[in-house]
Amino acid sequence: MDNIYPGTPGNIDKAADIIRNGGLVAFPTDTVYGLGANVYLPSAVAGIFAAKERPLFDPLISHIADIDFLPEYAQTDQRVMDLARHFWPGPLTFVLKRKDEDHRLDLVCSGLPNIAVRMPNHPLALALIRTAGVPIAAPSANRFKTVSPTSAQHVKDSLGDRVAMILDGGPCRIGVETTILDLTTKEMVILRAGGLPKEAIEAYTGEKVILSQGTPDKPSAPGQLLKHYAPRLPMRINVAEEDVRADEFFIGFGPVKKARLNLSPAGDLQEAAANLFAFMREAEKHNEFKGIAMSPIPQNGLGLAINDRIRRASYREK
């Protein structure tokens, strides 16, 4: 049964009903496709963990559709609201202190005292959240530790009928998950590099932003586990063109000649981020290869997010 639906007003209404009544809906955002459930229904949130086969200690991000709702949902101050008004909607998630002891949110937060919130920059996502009338918890719409989805078909390939409805909004524009910014302390800390470069936050605030890798065995935000976003084939990163093995599928970056796929021949990090997950998915289909090799990616701008993803994708569990 095909569970992919175009993002028409009627289908948005149907998807919103599913969300309100405890079902799961996959929907596009500016970053990747999300697997959504009503944050106020723990049984629905549990369905996300079950569908993804994701551990319960890995917290989820709540998606909202209006900046003015944020103070009703989490503890805010002038700094938080200024950042929200400047960067939202967009690929930035805040980690904030929880507003109160609403135990319905315990599972979304994995029992932590903080909550992760974002406002996606995608008209279909915003329409769904507003129509549903509740914040929507939504990690990436794929099975745990596999490559994140940037199209509706990717969701179907990974989750099949584990999701009631997949709203098709076309390919995601950014292609890597959000930057996660911890605002519970005086200093701003990036817990996960993502679609908003660290430099953009520093340029706006005039403050230094700390980059943290988090604690993999006890994550305080999504995407901090050592192995994440992994393709089926083992992957080596920072591989020079001349060091690619004959049995490796080579994903290049910049002016390399022998790449089977090139994230960006022009060396454009935005283009590379948008192609990253789709190219990893394509590479893992090639059974004639024993592994994947990837070109070095610069460690600046969106390169921080790309390197974070490929480092976790290439991690070998002992």
Say what the pTM is: 0.82
- Total Cβ atoms within 10 A of residue 264: 19
User: What Rg do the C-alpha atoms of the chain give, in angstroms?
Assistant: 19
Asked if residues 276 and 265 have their Cβ atoms less than 8 Å apart, the reply is no
At 213 the pLDDT is 63
CATH for 235-313, among 3.40.50.970, 3.10.129.10, 3.40.50.11030, 3.90.190.10?
Answer: 3.40.50.11030
Q: Decide the pairing of beta strands 25-27 and 34-38.
A: antiparallel
Residues 6+ apart with CB under 8 A from 57: 110, 218, 219
At 313 the pLDDT is 82
At 317 the pLDDT is 63
Ranges of each domain in the chain: 4-211, 235-313
For the chain, report the end-to-end CA distance as a whole number of angstroms: 39
Superfamily of domain 4-211: DHBP synthase (3.90.870.10)
At 273 the pLDDT is 85
Residues 6+ apart with CB under 8 A from 84: 67, 70, 76, 94, 119
- List per-block mean pLDDT (blocks of 10 residues) for the chain, which spans 318 residues: 92 98 97 97 92 82 97 96 98 95 88 93 98 97 90 95 96 94 93 94 96 61 58 92 96 95 94 88 93 94 86 75
Distances in Å between the alpha carbon of 216 and those of 165, 192, 265, 303? 32, 12, 33, 21
